[in-house]
Amino acid sequence: MKQRQDAWTEEDDLLLAETVLRHVREGSTQLNAFEEVGDKLNRTSAACGFRWNAVVRSRYETALQLAKKQRKERQRLLGKSQPVRKKLLYTPPMPSLEELGELTELKAPAEQSAMTLDHVIAFLQSLKSANVGAEALKQENERLKREKEELLAKTEELEKKIAKLEEDSSTIREEYETMLRIMNRARKITLQEEEERQTLKFKMDKNGNLEKIAE
């Protein structure tokens, strides 16, 4: 059984890339390439496929496109204008009797690799949760910013009203003080005139003229 779980080396990645490019160039499938590399490295084809798609392919994208172009040119030279069913270039070795015995003891086939499908699903779910959490924080931040702007606007409006009330109050106070001063002056003048009327007396002289006399 294939149970290898150690890390991939540069040599392993190179073997995987060369094998995939050869199968593509010669009209086979990437699945056949994964099977071949899996047998050579004692890994599962699923592990090889995951490694190719997740890590190695991005390094050899240009070479992969060239291999596909060479495959198309090869088919054209062979007179195959229409795509044909990809042939099988690699035949996996027959399992030994010991391996067949181990397989019959398994309740269900399972991929024994360091990176399982459950790991991939869990990783994708964690990314989704992180994205959802980030989006929620972004929306909350936007809401708080709007509330802050509304509060600042209300505060500015209240400050203007307070300033207007203080200005009106100052004007009213000045007008009230001015009115008090006018009333006090009028009262003093009235009292003074009243006193003068009370203190002044007149008498007629021998010529018939009035003259003011003090009491």
For 59-96, what is each residue's pLDDT tens digit?
A: 999 999 999 999 999 888 887 545 545 555 566 555 55
Tell which residue, 73, 67, 69, 75, has the closest CA to residue 19.
Answer: 67
Contact between residue 113 and residue 47 where contact means Cβ atoms under 8 Å apart: yes
The pLDDT tens digits for 127-149 are: 766 665 667 777 888 888 888 99
What is the reported pLDDT for 11? 95
Highest-scoring range by mean pLDDT, 22-26, 185-189, 206-210: 22-26
* pTM to 2 decimal places: 0.41
Q: With 60 as the cut, is the pLDDT of residue 97 above it?
A: no
The pair phi, psi for residue 212, each rounded to 5°, is -85, 135
What is the reported pLDDT for 95? 54
Highest-scoring range by mean pLDDT, 37-41, 166-170, 208-212: 37-41
Task: Enter the tokens of residue 107.
Answer: 């309740």
Q: How far apart are CA 175 and CA 182, in angstroms?
A: 11
Q: Residue 70 class from Cβ within 10 Å (0-12 exposed, 13-18 middle, 19+ buried)? A: middle
Per DSSP, the three-state class of 210 is: strand
What is the reported pLDDT for 178? 86
What is the reported pLDDT for 63? 94
Q: With 60 as the cut, is the pLDDT of residue 176 above it?
A: yes
3-state SS of 74-141 is HHHHCCCCCCCCCCCCCCCCCCCHHHHHHHHHCCCCCCCCCCCHHHHHHHHHHHHHHHHHHHHHHHHH
Residue 39 DSSP class:
H
The pLDDT tens digits for 5-64 are: 679 999 999 999 999 999 999 999 999 999 999 999 999 999 999 999 999 999 999 999
Q: With 50 as the cut, is the pLDDT of residue 113 above it?
A: no
Q: CA of 191: how far to CAs of 194, 196, 197, in Å?
A: 5, 9, 10
